[in-house]
Amino acid sequence: MEVNYTNYNAKSLLEALSTIDADAYPENYKNLTEQIALRQEEIEAFYQEQELAQKLKWSRALTFVGVSQVLVALIAIVMLVLSLPTLAMANVGMSIFIVLLNGIAGITLIKRLPKGYLLSFVNLGLQVFSFGAGHFYFNYYGLGGVFLALDWVSDTYNWFSASFSLGGSLFELSTQSEHGFLQVDLLAILYLWVVSKASSKITS
């Protein structure tokens, strides 16, 4: 049965080309390739439209990560102001560092400043791993996270645990109790992948 491809749009023509059996339907294949050749400008316009749609999708994802970091900076400012009377100078300095790191990193993403993407990689990279050994404890994450943890000290976790949290510690460093754990934040890894993928897609 001969197919009339003249009424096909660019997307339908390309889909037909990817599925047609040229050996089984040589006449249809010939008509299809001729139609594609005749409508090359329309095909190219379709490809450009698809590429722009992809860039827009990744641009929105990049904006989302950037806004998340700016929100962390704002939360850190509020926490700093509320806790200022009880904080040691070292903690005040760390809070200011967190505000600046998240704020500048978020703004560079929102404004699409490629040279500043490194700040987001550093900021998000610091959130990937949390750990505790002896009296030393480090935990840093922003608006929340999806965590996998190995704990060989606390009976509560029974070695392995998975958890989800909205909000949490922006930074904690404790020497008050005994620790023994390693935690991975899957959300931070996802954000790192989004920044890496989106930056390459948008600039390509």
152 HSE (CA, 13 A, CB side): 6
Please state whether the predicted TM-score (pTM) of the whole model is above 0.85.
no
Q: What is the pLDDT of residues 14-30, one digit of tens each?
A: 999 999 999 998 999 99
List the beta strands (DSSP E) in the chain.
129-134, 136-139, 144-151, 159-166, 172-174, 179-185
Q: Which of 31-35, 53-57, 149-153 has the lowest mean pLDDT?
A: 149-153
Looking only at Cα atoms, what is the longest distance across the chain?
83
Which pLDDT score, from 0 to 100, does residue 179 have? 77
